[in-house]
């Protein structure tokens, strides 16, 4: 077991090897390079859907190993309008609240490990079109909450 899968287990989540918890349609947008590898993944949205059907749930947690292990949180979501920024912020607030619970303590530690490596741990993945600009109001709103502009792909390593 990896630290990520152990932490997922401790949180009561069903961790999967590599990036298998990410739906196939998004899996190709998340990759590693060099000595980096995937250490596990979880589908938070699927796990909490029954208990929180109306919640703004974050989708995926992914463990990576580049020397030490760390966690990134990836949310595939449309980036087509300014209303999507508000939805993403609500999803991020939901995730951060989970990370503050005792069950998620080990996952929170792995999230802090990502920050220590200079990674932005909360990432917005999109397909299609976006009109958001670096330096624009949306970019500023997201940065205040610890998110960056949406990305077409995420590469770690």
| Parallel/antiparallel/unpaired status of strands 122-125 and 68-76 | parallel
User: Token digits for 62?
Assistant: 């992914």
Contacts of 132 (CB under 8 A, 6+ apart): 79, 85, 138, 139, 149, 150
Q: What is the pTM of this model?
A: 0.95
Residues 64-73: tens digit of each pLDDT: 999 999 999 9
Domain range list for the chain: 3-156
pLDDT at 1: 76
> For 37-73, what is each residue's pLDDT tens digit?
999 999 999 999 999 999 999 999 999 999 999 999 9
Distance CA 46, CA 65 (A): 24
């Amino acid at each position: 077991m990896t630290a990520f899968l152990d932490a997922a287990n401790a949180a009561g989540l069903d961790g999967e090897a590599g990036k298998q918890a990410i739906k196939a349609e998004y899996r190709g947008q998340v990759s590693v390079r060099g000595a980096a590898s995937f250490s596990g993944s979880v589908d938070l949205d699927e796990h909490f859907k029954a208990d929180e059907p109306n919640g703004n749930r974050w989708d995926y947690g992914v463990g990576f190993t580049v020397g030490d292990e760390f966690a990134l949180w990836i949310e595939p979501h449309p980036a087509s309008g300014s209303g999507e920024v508000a939805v993403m912020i609500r999803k991020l607030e939901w995730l951060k609240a989970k990370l503050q619970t005792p069950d998620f303590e080990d996952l929170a530690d792995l999230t802090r490990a990502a920050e220590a490596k200079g990674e932005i741990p909360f990432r917005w993945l999109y397909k299609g079109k976006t009109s958001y600009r670096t330096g624009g109001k949306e970019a500023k709103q997201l940065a205040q909450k610890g998110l960056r502009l949406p990305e077409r792909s995420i590469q770690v390593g």
